[in-house]
Amino acid sequence: MRSLARVVVLVAFALAVATAAQAQEVTLSVAISMKEAVEELGKGFMASRPGVTLRYNFGSSGELQKQIEAGAPVDLFISAAQRQMDELEQKQLVVSTTRRVFARNVLTVIKPSDSKIDIAKPADLLDARATKIVIGNPKTVPAGQYAEESLKTLGLADKLQPKLVFSENVRQALDYVARGEVDAGFVYTTDAVTRGAQVKEAFRLAEDTYRPVLYPVAVVTGAKQAALAQAFLDLLLSREGQATLGRLGFQPPPAGVR
């Protein structure tokens, strides 16, 4: 009996060691506007790879960039703009050969669903009743950078400056509008649909007033799970990944753009 018990203990110990060895955690730092898409694709990714766990770190691309620069243990970086990826690539903090653009988005202006202010074009933001307008902080939030660029192109940046409220990321801007704390906000069209009952689209900004909203992805230099990070990157570019992104409102990447 003692011998049998010893065998059972040894087998259990071996299984525990094997399980621990097989367990692999992959850390993804992801622009928060990509949250639903990445989480949905992540479920299938983990289901097909027993022992693999995806850890998500959502935030503004600029803040995620700072974390990587500070040495955060990240395997894959998904940005909502080329700028943050460019700066990391210049510092050799992402693997250049893995970098790809996998999606596009569009900027829009939203207002609370019960708003009585008639906002249908950019000039309507000057209405005295619209006292607070939220955009992402242009220092770290790509959506805010695109919004600022559009307002400058339209000649409205200086006039609207006193009304602007800055958010830490695009989803916080969305929440401010959804809760009625501001009169209007700049977000992506894919964000707006996640709060369909609380916000409504006022108008879309002309796409020639700001740079194209492109989403690049790359494996982070020194990633502990580089192979799995590459596998998730490949999933984003695959037919399955592109179908999921399209269903959630994202556009395919422009032809020929890296």
For the entire predicted model, the pTM comes to 0.89
List domains and CATH numbers for the chain.
2-104+214-247 (3.40.190.10), 105-209 (3.40.190.10)
Q: For residue 92, is it left (φ>0), alpha (ψ between -120 and 50) or beta?
A: left
Angle, alpha carbons 100-105-109 (nearest 5°)? 155
3-class DSSP state for residue 185?
strand
Q: pLDDT digit string (tens) for 183-213?
A: 999 999 999 999 989 999 999 999 999 999 9
Q: pLDDT digit string (tens) for 100-150?
A: 999 999 999 999 999 999 999 999 999 999 999 999 999 999 999 999 999
When pLDDT is cut at 50, 70 and 90, the band that residue 23 belongs to is confident
Q: Please answer whether residues 78 and 256 qualify as being in contact, where contact means their C-beta atoms are separated by less than 8 angstroms.
A: no
